[in-house]
């Protein structure tokens, strides 16, 4: 059974807000983790699902492919690019669709999700009920302008999930009514 190693990383092309060397940034550290995971699991593949392209820049998927193959020495046949979504939630849904294909009820592949420290709570929340998932955190300098956009959804997303849970919203008044009768 092959393992899908999936870097869910922020764009390396947004230069405003990024500081330090390329090797010390969170996206590059995530690719380094992917390369190390690949050496530990030789039958794995690195699955890049990202279609973001900043104006006048190369697509992120191409940059990730170049850095993995040239800078980190990953062979090109071990990298698969499926550039159809760019948002984190959609990326995770696409990964699980590929991992379960053709049977939607059975996961055929183990999954390693690599995300930045700031994005990790959202990734954990979305995949908390999945068994065949390992989550890795890339430590490095984030794009500080995007840090706010990473932190806010992490907490707001979990609140919206709780609100959408109808059982939770129905249990609260029922519990209050129960204690009034005592």
Query: Which sequence spans correspond to the domains of the chain?
Result: 3-181
**pLDDT score of 36:** 94
- 160: helix, strand or coil: helix
pLDDT at 178 exceeding the cut of 70:
no
Give 135 or 88, the one with higher predicted confidence.
135
pLDDT at 84 over 70: yes
Q: Which residues contact 154 (CB under 8 A, 6 or more apart)?
A: 118, 119, 121, 122, 125
Distance from C-alpha of 39 to C-alpha of 37, rounded to nearest angstrom: 5
Contacts of 179 (CB under 8 A, 6+ apart): none
Q: Do 94 and 85 form a contact (C-beta atoms < 8 A)?
A: yes
Res 17: pLDDT = 63
Q: How confident is the model at residue 150 (pLDDT cuts 50, 70, 90)?
A: low
pLDDT value at residue 97:
84
Identify the H or E element spanning 112.
strand 110-116
What SS3 class is residue 5? Answer: strand
Average pLDDT, the chain: 79
Out of 1.20.1440, 3.40.50, 1.10.3470, 3.30.70, which CATH number does the structure's domain 3-181 have?
A: 3.40.50
Of 139, 135, 111, 110, the C-alpha closest to 125 is: 135
Check residue 22 and report its DSSP letter.
G
Best CA proximity match to 138, nearest among 16, 12, 44: 12
Residue 131 CB neighbour total at 10 angstroms: 7
**Whether the predicted pLDDT of 152 surpasses 90:** no
Residue 3, SS3 per DSSP: strand
**pLDDT at position 108:** 72
Average pLDDT over residues 43-56: 87
> Which is higher by pLDDT, 118 or 77?
77
């Amino acid at each position: 059974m092959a393992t899908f190693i999936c870097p869910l990383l922020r764009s390396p092309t947004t230069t405003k807000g990024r500081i330090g060397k390329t090797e010390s940034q969170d996206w590059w550290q995530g690719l380094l983790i992917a390369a190390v995971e690949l050496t530990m699991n030789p039958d794995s593949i690195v699955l890049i699902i990202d279609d973001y392209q900043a104006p006048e820049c190369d697509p992120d998927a191409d940059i990730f492919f170049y850095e993995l193959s040239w800078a980190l020495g990953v062979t090109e046949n071990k990298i698969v690019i499926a550039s159809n979504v760019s948002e984190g939630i959609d990326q995770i849904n696409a990964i699980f669709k590929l991992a379960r294909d053709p049977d939607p009820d059975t996961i055929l592949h183990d999954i390693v999700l690599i995300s930045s420290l700031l994005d990790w709570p959202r990734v954990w929340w979305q995949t908390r009920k999945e068994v065949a998932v390992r989550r890795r955190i890339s430590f490095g300098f984030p794009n500080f302008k995007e840090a706010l956009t990473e932190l806010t959804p992490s907490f707001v997303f979990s609140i919206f999930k709780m609100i959408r849970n109808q059982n939770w919203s129905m249990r609260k008044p029922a519990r209050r009514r129960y204690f009034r009768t005592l």
